[in-house]
Amino acid sequence: MHLTQLLTALPLDRAGPAPLFRQLYAAIKHAILSGAARPRR
């Protein structure tokens, strides 16, 4: 998955208990560790 696709598909919740930056960090970390986001070659 390309980074722009990943970022546009994130379910961020502005009213949620976690700040947006923490939601974003967690989603990107999960994508990297699960193999959904791979480095470009």
Q: pLDDT digit string (tens) for 3-38?
A: 788 778 888 899 999 999 999 999 889 888 998 877
Q: How many CB atoms sit inside 10 A of residue 9's CB? A: 10
Backbone angles phi, psi at 30, to 5 degrees: -65, -40
What is the domain count for the chain? 1
User: Helix and strand tally (H, E) in the chain?
Assistant: 2, 0
- Domain range for residue 28? 3-34
Question: Looking at the domain assignment, is residue 41 inside a domain?
Answer: no
Question: Looking at the domain assignment, is residue 9 inside a domain?
Answer: yes
Question: Looking at the domain assignment, is residue 18 inside a domain?
Answer: yes
Confidence of residue 1 (pLDDT cuts 50, 70, 90): low
Task: Name the residue with tokens 């700040």.
Answer: 19
pLDDT at 9 (0 to 100): 82
Task: Name the residue with tokens 């598909």.
Answer: 9
Considering only residues 27 and 1, tell me which one the structure prediction assigns the higher pLDDT: 27
Question: How many residues belong to the chain?
Answer: 41
Mean pLDDT of 36-41: 74
- The separation between CA 28 and the C-alpha centre of its own chain, rounded to angstroms, equals 3
Question: Looking at the domain assignment, is residue 39 inside a domain?
Answer: no
Question: Looking at the domain assignment, is residue 40 inside a domain?
Answer: no
